[in-house]
Amino acid sequence: MHSIYKRTTAALALSVALAVPAAAELTGELRIFLDTSNPAPRATMEAMIERFQALHPDLEIETTIIEREAYKTQIRNFLTADTPDVANWYAANRMKPYVEAGLFEDVSDLWAEPEIAENLASTKGAMTLDGKQWGVPYTYYQWGVYYRKDIFDELGLTEPTTWEEELANCQKIVDSGRICYTIGTRNYWTAGGWFDYINMRTNGYDFHNQLANGEISWEDDRVKQTFANWKQLIDMGAFPDDHTARSWQESVPLMVRGDAAAILKGNFVVAPLRDAGLTDDQIDFYQFVSINPDVELAEDAPTDTFHIPANASNKEAAREFLRFVVSPDEQTEINNGANLGQLPINAKSSVDDDKFLIQGFEMLSSNSPGGVAQFWDRDAPAEMAKVSMEGFQEFMVKPDDLDRILAKLERSRGRIYEN
Amino acid sequence: MTVAVDAPERESWFHKNQQRIAPWLFLAPGILFFLVYVIIPVFQSFNLSLYEWDGLGTAEYVGFRNYEDLYWEWVDRDAFYVSLKNNLIWLVLYLLAIPAGLFIALLLNQTVFGIRLYKSLFFFPFVISQVVVGLVFTWFYDPTFGLLNQFLAWFGLGPINVLGNEHLVTYGIIAAGLWPQTAYCMILYLTGLNAVDPEQIEAGRLDGAKGFRMLWHVVLPQLRPATFIAFVVTIIGALRSFDLISVMTQGGPFGSSRVLAYYMFEVALSEYGFRMGYGAAIAVVLFLIMLCFITYFLWSMYREERGY
């Protein structure tokens, strides 16, 4: 019995293997470097690579997973020496240093293939520098306000859509002895998210982009207006006092305990909220409110990417791997709730049946006419991102020192963009 | 009868100069590694500090531009000024580890039951990794569940957010650093106390010295070598303070707990850092500061050996 079963599975496997079009049999070695060191993404990637291996049995695939933070500095080394064939990274300006140094392979040819050109059009902009594409995306996720629905119900609040409603909601939350938004600015980028949203809502996506590209003075009145809006929330006690001492993970318990009503964050915050015991009835999502009715809504949706290093040795196999990663089925699979729990980048893929993913997908595909930004520290050059996010944090502590902080940022702008 | 004439012994060149060559031969590996890993990099980083380089592309010669930028950061009370100021605070306050270590060593330098256990407990913080020390103190200071604030709450004192407050953060980190450093100084003094001459103590006692006078005039002078080493390791430790800052605050809030070593790392090697030349310029400044102390140490060691 057992042996029959074995034989049939073997036969089945064989027939499946035969059914695969043997168009170009890939051989040699394919070395993949990944930064997906957290348990769930790691398992997802390993499973995906196994499926790719099954399609190309003659290919020797070697996967190296590097701790996420360490990866950010190691990439500079391994792109120049002992280079892998595929490496993952982030879109937009974050890939600029490597593109400029000629370390990423131009993959515009892949983007010319109809399969990719048609289905990945929405993320093409984020992968384009100097009119060429330098990699493919594999996942992205929405940002927005994740809130405690039970607290909103208790206080009789509804999801706000305008700044006035937002402020009124927040006032009621503060009056009930809670804070409106938990945040931990020990990771500076958390403040960057707030700046992204308030600036995009106040001045629009294009202005935001120009600011990130150093084309606008930090002492411009429009920038000051952004901070004035932000200050309204700070002054009413919307944020916790000790946010500078917390990392973003440490800021989540405030919301779990019900001391904070909401958090502005990427979709990755859902997992820790659920893990902490909150049910889907208790948490919900809404799009960041509109502030200036004259500007179109634009969202943050950071995209994670795969690249082929210019020094790779098996570029043919690497290209095939990239095609595989962005294919509709793989995209559906790796982005589902059991795996990455994010949004697929292929238009033909389906979004997992998860209320946050569905809402996020709808928001990004139909209610973000202004554009989609990557995130402040990916859109602005690294140095400017660093200096400015520090400034945002300082502003949140000392909102009255705004002029001094902006003067500092303006000086940095003068230095950073001059080349 | 033939007299055997001693043929003049043909000495090889090596043989003749053996006495002079041997020390150099023994020193050679040390010198080689010292050159490759210390001396040459010192000059290399000085050279690098004259360039603008992102670590990937080609380096562009900019002369003293990086130093000029540092100067302006100083004038504007910007990051460089903050780092330098914090370095100074570190230098001064870290020295507290020496009297604290001496005090504990004196306390533990007795023979009672279980003293070995006490000694090892006191020495424990030096054995564990700085990263662990940093984490423990981060939790200790935590504004919501930290022990410090629970303790303050007993006295009705409001929670203080040590690591999130720009004025307190450096002192908070130094306090964490003092914990292992005190243990280190304690060990140095404990070994030093073993070498204290009992006859001199006896003589001092006969002359009626006790308590503080005994310590100051009889014991401390004999502990001079230990004090010297404790001083050296503490100064160096203060100047290279990095791990605690990296673990506890990452330089924050808004950069107010940076020191030069951390700022250098941030600028050149961290996630957002691409300015190798600028980092090198900071390193050169840090090196010059260290050089003052090193010169002083070498000079006083030299004096010691000459017997002044």
Q: Phi first, then psi: what are they for A89, rounded to 5°?
A: -165, -160
Q: Phi first, then psi: what are they for A274, rounded to 5°?
A: -70, -40
Check pLDDT > 90 for residue B12. no
**Looking at the complex, does the CB of residue A379 fall below 8 Å from at least one CB of chain B?**
no
User: Residue A127 is encoded by which pair of tokens?
Assistant: 């992968």
Q: Phi first, then psi: what are they for A265, rounded to 5°?
A: -160, 170
Residue A107 CB-density burial (10 A; 0-12 exposed, 13-18 middle, 19+ buried): buried
pLDDT score, position B9:
66
**Looking at the complex, does the CB of residue B81 fall below 8 Å from at least one CB of chain A?**
no
Task: Give the tens place of pLDDT for each residue, B63-103.
Answer: 898 999 899 888 888 889 999 999 999 999 999 999 999 99
Query: Are A390 and B255 an interchain contact pair (Cβ–Cβ within 8 Å)?
Result: yes
Q: How far is CA B115 from the centre of its chain?
A: 29
Residue among B56, B69, B249 whose CB faces A101 most closely: B56
Quote the number of domains for chain B. Answer: 1
Q: How far is CA A273 from CA A42, A256, A258, B49, B136, in A?
A: 21, 7, 12, 47, 25
Query: Are B252 and A188 an interchain contact pair (Cβ–Cβ within 8 Å)?
Result: yes
Query: How do strand A283-286 and strand A143-148 relate by DSSP bridges?
Result: antiparallel
Residue among B56, B163, B269 whose CB faces A245 most closely: B163
pLDDT score, position B6:
60
Task: Give the tens place of pLDDT for each residue, B18-41.
Answer: 888 899 999 999 999 999 999 999
Q: How far is CA A325 from CA A109, A138, A148, A198, in A?
A: 16, 7, 35, 34
Check pLDDT > 50 for residue A19. no
pLDDT score, position B205:
86
All residues at 6 or more sequence positions from A112 whose CB lies less than 8 Å from its CB, including other chains: none
**Looking at the complex, does the CB of residue A96 fall below 8 Å from at least one CB of chain B?**
no
* Closest-CA distance of chain B to residue A54, Å: 36
**Looking at the complex, does the CB of residue B269 fall below 8 Å from at least one CB of chain A?**
yes
The DSSP code sequence of B94-143 is: HTTHHHHHHHHHHHH-S--TTHHHHHHHHHHHHHS-HHHHHHHHHHHH-T
Q: How far apart are CA A35 and CA A15, in angstroms?
A: 35
Which residues in chain A touch residue B57, judged by CB atoms under 8 angstroms apart? 100-101
pLDDT score, position A210:
92
Range of the domain at B169: 77-306
Check pLDDT > 90 for residue A309. yes
pLDDT score, position B133:
93
**Looking at the complex, does the CB of residue B222 fall below 8 Å from at least one CB of chain A?**
no
pLDDT score, position A38:
81
Q: How confident is the model at residue A3 (pLDDT cuts 50, 70, 90)?
A: very low
**Looking at the complex, does the CB of residue A404 fall below 8 Å from at least one CB of chain B?**
no
Which residues in chain B touch residue A383, judged by CB atoms under 8 angstroms apart? 272-275
Q: Is residue B234 part of a domain?
A: yes
Task: Give the tens place of pLDDT for each residue, A31-89.
Answer: 999 998 888 889 999 999 999 999 999 999 999 999 888 898 888 889 988 899 999 99
The H or E element that residue B34 is part of is helix B13-34
Mean pLDDT of A116-145: 89
pLDDT score, position B301:
84
How many CB pairs (< 8 A) connect A and B? 79
Query: Are B143 and A103 an interchain contact pair (Cβ–Cβ within 8 Å)?
Result: no
Task: Give the tens place of pLDDT for each residue, A351-361.
Answer: 888 889 999 98
Query: Are B272 and A377 an interchain contact pair (Cβ–Cβ within 8 Å)?
Result: yes
Q: How far apart are CA B73 and CA A57, in angstroms?
A: 58
CA-based radius of gyration for chain A: 23
Which residues in chain A touch residue B163, judged by CB atoms under 8 angstroms apart? 244-245
* Residue A253: closest C-alpha in chain B: B144
Query: Are B142 and A245 an interchain contact pair (Cβ–Cβ within 8 Å)?
Result: yes
Query: Are A245 and B143 an interchain contact pair (Cβ–Cβ within 8 Å)?
Result: yes
Q: How far is CA A252 from the centre of its chain?
A: 18
Q: How far is CA B249 from the centre of its chain?
A: 20
Q: Is residue B2 part of a domain?
A: no
Which residue in B258, B255, B256, B261 sits closest to B290, CA to CA? B261
pLDDT score, position A341:
85
pLDDT score, position B308:
57
pLDDT score, position A22:
43
Check pLDDT > 70 for residue B42. yes
H helices of A56-188, where? 68-78, 96-100, 108-112, 114-119, 124-127, 149-155, 163-175
**Looking at the complex, does the CB of residue B308 fall below 8 Å from at least one CB of chain A?**
no
Query: How do strand A179-181 and strand A260-266 relate by DSSP bridges?
Result: parallel
Q: How far apart are CA B54 and CA A96, in angstroms?
A: 12
The residue ranking higher by pLDDT, A53 or B306, is: A53
Instruction: Give the 3-state secondary structure of residue A65.
Output: strand
Check pLDDT > 50 for residue A14. no
Q: What pTM, to 2 d.p., does this model score?
A: 0.82
Amino acid at A311: N
Interface of A with B in 39-78 (CB under 8 A): 69, 72-73, 76
Share of chain B above pLDDT 70, in %: 96
pLDDT score, position B7:
58
Check pLDDT > 80 for residue B49. yes
Output the domain CATH number for residue B89: 1.10.3720.10
Of A69, A195, A242, A411, which to mutate for an interface test with B (greatest number of B Cβ within 10 Å)?
A242
Mean pLDDT of B147-164: 86
Which residues in chain B touch residue A386, judged by CB atoms under 8 angstroms apart? 266, 272-273
Of the ranges A184-188, B11-15, B25-29, the best mean pLDDT one: B25-29
The strand pairing partners of A260, in sequence order, are A179
Check pLDDT > 80 for residue B234. yes
Query: Are A393 and B252 an interchain contact pair (Cβ–Cβ within 8 Å)?
Result: yes
Q: How confident is the model at residue A17 (pLDDT cuts 50, 70, 90)?
A: very low
Query: Are A408 and B78 an interchain contact pair (Cβ–Cβ within 8 Å)?
Result: yes
Task: Give the tens place of pLDDT for each residue, A311-330.
Answer: 999 999 999 999 999 999 99
**Looking at the complex, does the CB of residue A154 fall below 8 Å from at least one CB of chain B?**
no
Q: How confident is the model at residue A205 (pLDDT cuts 50, 70, 90)?
A: very high
Share of chain B above pLDDT 90, in %: 41
pLDDT score, position A16:
43
**Dihedral angle over CA of B271, B272, B276, B278, nearest 10:** -140
Task: Give the tens place of pLDDT for each residue, A252-274.
Answer: 999 999 999 999 999 989 888 98
Secondary structure in 3-state letters for A277-343: CCCCCCEEEECCCECCCCCCCEEECCEEEEECECCCCCHHHHHHHHHHHHCHHHHHHHCCCCCCCCE
Query: Are B161 and A383 an interchain contact pair (Cβ–Cβ within 8 Å)?
Result: no
Check pLDDT > 80 for residue A140. yes
Amino acid at B89: I
Q: What is the mean pLDDT of chain B?
A: 88
Mean pLDDT of B274-294: 90
Q: How far apart are CA B162 and CA A365, in angstroms?
A: 44
**Looking at the complex, does the CB of residue A98 fall below 8 Å from at least one CB of chain B?**
yes
Mean pLDDT of B248-262: 88
pLDDT score, position B5:
55
All residues at 6 or more sequence positions from A205 whose CB lies less than 8 Å from its CB, including other chains: A295, A296, A298, A370, A371, A373
**Looking at the complex, does the CB of residue B168 fall below 8 Å from at least one CB of chain A?**
no
The residue ranking higher by pLDDT, A11 or A392, is: A392
Query: Are B254 and A397 an interchain contact pair (Cβ–Cβ within 8 Å)?
Result: yes
pLDDT score, position B159:
80
User: Residue A286 is encoded by which pair of tokens?
Assistant: 């809404």
**Looking at the complex, does the CB of residue B272 fall below 8 Å from at least one CB of chain A?**
yes
User: Residue B170 is encoded by which pair of tokens?
Assistant: 């450096």
Please report the domains of chain A, with CATH numbers, ordered by start residue: 24-140+302-349 (3.40.190.10), 143-300+369-416 (3.40.190.10)
Q: Is residue B68 part of a domain?
A: no
Q: How far is CA A309 from the centre of its chain?
A: 22
Q: Phi first, then psi: what are they for A400, rounded to 5°?
A: -75, -15
pLDDT score, position A56:
92
Mean pLDDT of B170-195: 92
Q: Is residue B44 part of a domain?
A: no
pLDDT score, position A283:
94
Query: Are A72 and B271 an interchain contact pair (Cβ–Cβ within 8 Å)?
Result: yes
C-alpha count within 13 angstroms, C-beta hemisphere, residue A50: 7
